[in-house]
Amino acid sequence: MPIAPTHPRTAASPRLARRGSIGLVGLALLLAACSLPATLPRALKPTVPTEAQPATCPLTGTPSARGGLPRRPALAVKVDNYPQARPQSGLDQTDVVFEEPVEGAITRYVAVFQCESPPQVGPIRSARNIDIGILGQLGRPLLVSVGGITPVLDNIAQSPITEFDLRIHGSVSQHPPGRFAPYDTYSAPASLWKLDPSDTTPPAPLFSFSSASPAGTAASTIAIPFSATSNVVWRYNPTLRLFQRFYGTAPDLMADGAQNGATNVIVQFVQLSYGPWVENSGGGLEVQANLYENASGRAEIFRDGIDVAGTWRRSSLNEPTQFLSASGNPIALAPGRTWVELVPDTVTVTVGAP
């Protein structure tokens, strides 16, 4: 804002000089005012500053446990979900989890941390091409994996993602006792953020949040049969106000005994294609999905024991996926952890009522 110009002093006008003759009267009034009671009227009492509200975590919509928002980017860690990789560590302390289909009709996790920072996450495995579409909406996130096939790593290198391969950065790896290759590589998010200490920019929010429950249909269970080994079932616990995760009827437990759960579960139906690259020695082809090039599809958002049917759409890599109601309005999530299920549109998801 421009600074107001100053003006040179001028000689006092006769009127101003006459006002100077009553200075003694003014001084007397000032001294009399000093004898007024020290207690000020209520309206004039100085106000006490209110305590600053804690910062809101951009990916969960909840207050930061640290008070201030951690000055760090979103950190995505590729976590395996082969049956031999279970139980995993750290998934119950994420901000967001994306469950993606990969070769062999199994799934793999993109575990995203920003406000949360567990002591250990893993087992960490290789990257996939679909990770680019998932993570492009997080600005310039860090991606930590254990390798990947050459065309996938080349594509990630050309994207906004900063990728760290633990085959190269082995100093931050952990190898817990009782775990065996290739399911034995773990790390601590605090150590992974230190791989790029110059990046102090938190991500923009992915979702809109509201504590008010939207209109929808009551839902107590969500059954997503990815495959025989990934027969995912979510069950709503009204006491905890969480959807808890199972494989069939068996709780999906972490290595520390905690059960996976989420405040919000998003079922995002996607159209898959396969190839052109072979991903494993068994001839499994790379799973591809268009998640951002003028992409859209069906979606169901679950929160508070309610199912809200809608659609998703996204037109560019760096913009967040929009989840919209039948009327075209954004569907607000409940503040808390969100689990995004990228479900092939050929899979039938069954929703159970209470």
Cα distance between residue 96 and residue 61, in whole Å: 11
pLDDT higher for 46 or 272?
Answer: 272
Q: Residue 240 has what pLDDT?
A: 97
66-86 tens-digit pLDDT: 778 999 999 999 999 999 999
Tokens of 170: 């082995």
177-235 tens-digit pLDDT: 999 999 999 999 999 999 999 999 999 999 999 999 999 999 999 999 999 999 999 99
Percent of the chain with pLDDT over 90: 81
**Collapsed DSSP state (helix, strand, coil) of residue 143:** strand
Question: How high is the mean pLDDT of the chain?
Answer: 88
Which domains are seen in the chain, by residue range?
Answer: 75-352 (3.50.90.10)
Per-residue confidence band for 27, with pLDDT thresholds at 50, 70 and 90: very low
Q: Residue 57 has what pLDDT?
A: 97
Mean pLDDT to the nearest integer, 273-300 = 94
What element of type H or E holds 226? none
- At 70, phi and psi to the nearest 5? -60, 130
Q: Residue 48 pLDDT > 90, yes or no?
A: no
- CA nearest neighbour of 158 among 187, 176, 136, 138: 136
- At 57, phi and psi to the nearest 5? -65, 130
Q: Residue 42 has what pLDDT?
A: 40
pLDDT higher for 352 or 25?
Answer: 352
